[in-house]
């Protein structure tokens, strides 16, 4: 209703329906940027598209370009197009790359397509090389996989959970809370959602927008 009322006012002032619609969108975008953080960063999207286009061109010119292949693999993972991501992450030169970041993405991708054991090995290898890789996200994958086993190892889960909490990353704390919620453990889920809000309160004002989305989702998670 508020959106329609705003559109009605703008249409009265501009006399142009299209200009009113654009005005509503711009106002909501400004409010979102300042207070919410749910709308995508459109400029970031354009920059990313340019980067992907350049990487594709580079691979067409030089199929041995491992860095371009990794950029594309990372991009398609983020888009949840895991089979396509694996296609690029399986580049023969990347397989010689022993970086934690590469193993991290390869492991997560393999787990997403159902190759749990193989993916888990790569994630564990990534953490051996750099325990800080992914800022806690690899542990989310390990916890989720362990919880789904017939007899979960509670000691492992507790140790991995401590690692996630150590980073204080609002997004990963929220994701961990959602894992517990899906398992039916609403009490633990709510505790984790509370930790999201605590971490958000400690965030400097300059970076709060990045974490605001997870704080809002955590409040909703606690309420439902």
pLDDT digits (tens, 9 = 90+) for 63-86: 999 999 999 999 999 999 999 999
Quick check: helix, strand or coil at residue 164? helix
Mean pLDDT confidence for 46-59: 85
For the question of whether the overall pTM of this predicted structure is more than 0.85, the answer is no
Residue 186 falls inside a structural domain? yes
**Count of domains forming the chain:** 1
Residue 96 is predicted with a pLDDT of: 82
Residue 47 is predicted with a pLDDT of: 75
Task: List Cβ neighbours of 81 (8 Å cut-off, separation of 6 or more).
Answer: none
Q: Which residue has the higher pLDDT, 14 or 220?
A: 220
Residue 205 falls inside a structural domain? yes
Rounded to whole angstroms, how far apart are CA atoms 145 and 163? 16
Residue 199 lies in domain = 168-224
Mean pLDDT confidence for 190-208: 90
Residue 95 is predicted with a pLDDT of: 81
Rounded to whole angstroms, how far apart are CA atoms 196 and 204? 14
Burial of residue 43, with CB atoms counted within 10 A of its CB: 0-12 exposed, 13-18 middle, 19 or more buried? exposed
Tell which residue, 122, 131, 140, has the closest CA to residue 192: 140
Residue 25 falls inside a structural domain? no
- The answer on pLDDT for 210 being more than 80 is yes
207 half-sphere exposure, CB direction, 13 A CA radius: 8
Sign, CA dihedral 105-111-115-121, equals: positive
Least confident of 16-30, 127-141, 170-184: 16-30
Q: Are 131 and 98 in contact (CB under 8 A)?
A: no
Q: Which residue has the higher pLDDT, 1 or 221?
A: 221
Residue 221 falls inside a structural domain? yes
pLDDT digits (tens, 9 = 90+) for 86-99: 999 999 888 887 89
Tell which residue, 45, 68, 66, 38, has the closest CA to residue 55: 68
Residue 180 falls inside a structural domain? yes
- The answer on pLDDT for 1 being more than 50 is no
Least confident of 92-96, 113-117, 155-159: 92-96
Rounded to whole angstroms, how far apart are CA atoms 31 and 210? 14
Residue 174 falls inside a structural domain? yes
Residue 131 is predicted with a pLDDT of: 94
Query: Taking all residues of the chain, what is their mean pLDDT, rounded to a whole number?
Result: 86
pLDDT digits (tens, 9 = 90+) for 18-52: 665 665 556 665 655 555 555 555 556 667 788 88
């Amino acid at each position: 209703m508020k959106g329609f009322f705003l559109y009605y006012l703008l249409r009265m002032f501009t006399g142009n329906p299209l200009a009113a619609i654009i005005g509503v969108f711009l106002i909501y975008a400004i409010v979102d940027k300042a207070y919410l953080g749910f709308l995508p960063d459109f400029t970031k999207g354009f920059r990313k598209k340019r980067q992907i286009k350049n990487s594709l061109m580079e691979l067409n010119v030089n199929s041995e370009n491992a860095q371009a292949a990794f950029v594309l693999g990372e991009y398609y993972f983020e888009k949840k197009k895991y089979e396509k991501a694996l296609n690029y992450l399986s580049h023969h030169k990347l397989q010689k790359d022993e970086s934690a970041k590469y193993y991290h993405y390869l492991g997560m991708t393999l787990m997403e397509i159902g190759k749990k054991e193989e993916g888990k090995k790569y994630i564990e290898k990534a953490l051996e090389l750099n325990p800080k890789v992914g800022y806690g996200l690899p542990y989310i994958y390990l916890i989720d996989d362990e919880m789904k086993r017939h007899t979960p190892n509670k000691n492992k889960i507790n140790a991995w959970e401590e690692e996630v909490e150590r980073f204080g990353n609002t997004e990963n704390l929220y994701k961990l809370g959602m894992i517990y919620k899906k398992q039916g453990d609403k009490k633990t889920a709510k505790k984790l959602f509370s930790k999201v809000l605590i971490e958000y309160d400690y965030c400097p004002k300059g970076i709060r927008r990045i974490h605001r989305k997870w704080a809002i989702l955590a409040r909703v998670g606690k309420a439902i």
